[in-house]
Amino acid sequence: MGVTSKSVLSLIACALVAGCATLPGSVPIGASTQEVEAKLGKPKNTVDAPGGETVWQYPTGPMGQRTYMVRFGSDRRVKSVSQALTLETFAQIRPGMSGDDIRLLLGPPGEVVTYRNLRENVWSYRYQPGAGENRIFNVHFDASSGLVRSTSDQEDPLFVPPIRVVG
């Protein structure tokens, strides 16, 4: 029996998802920056956090639906590892926060759109609140002040089957 390209792609996709799902457990608390870099590679972003802490950000997963944060204390040892694109993290966002605040919480946006007529910039983050659920969380910034105005959430249109009208 031959192996089809569809079967191979399915196996690769499963392996990628499984790899992403195990990232937080793969970095022990107390590990050094050198140990983390040897295990996970260089982070996409490095962000300075309050109290002399540093956060390494690893956006990953299909469609960027996961962003892992490795937080180091001032001693350059791992304090925590978490997946940032969650409902709990989104709930921390408040009007008046800056873009730097949002980058520290969520990492880089998957998409940025400017709406001149509304005088706002929108940063979008694809995420999965549960198995098989695909959504987009949006952070709306006032274009003149650069501060958060509001947030919104929507079903991810990439995963919505088209409506077919018969007849």
Q: Delineate the domains of the chain, giving CATH numbers in brackets.
A: 26-83 (3.30.1450.10), 84-167 (3.30.1450.10)
CB atoms within 10 A of CB 102: 20
CA distance 1 to 117: 58
- State what percent of residues in the chain have pLDDT above 70: 84
* Per-residue pLDDT at 83 exceeds 70: yes
CB 39 within 8 A of CB 56: no
Average pLDDT over residues 90-119: 96
Q: For the ranges 36-40, 91-95, 149-153, which has the lowest average pLDDT?
A: 36-40
Q: For the ranges 10-19, 78-87, 111-120, which has the lowest average pLDDT?
A: 10-19
Average pLDDT over residues 31-43: 94
Query: How remote is the C-alpha of 39 from its chain's centroid?
Result: 20
| pLDDT reported for residue 56 | 97
| pLDDT reported for residue 14 | 41
| pLDDT reported for residue 64 | 81
Alpha-carbon distances of 89 from 84, 105, 118, rounded to whole Å: 6, 7, 26
Average pLDDT, the chain: 86
Confidence of residue 11 (pLDDT cuts 50, 70, 90): very low
Burial environment of residue 43 by CB neighbours within 10 A (0 to 12, 13 to 18, 19 or more): buried
The whole-model pTM stands at 0.79
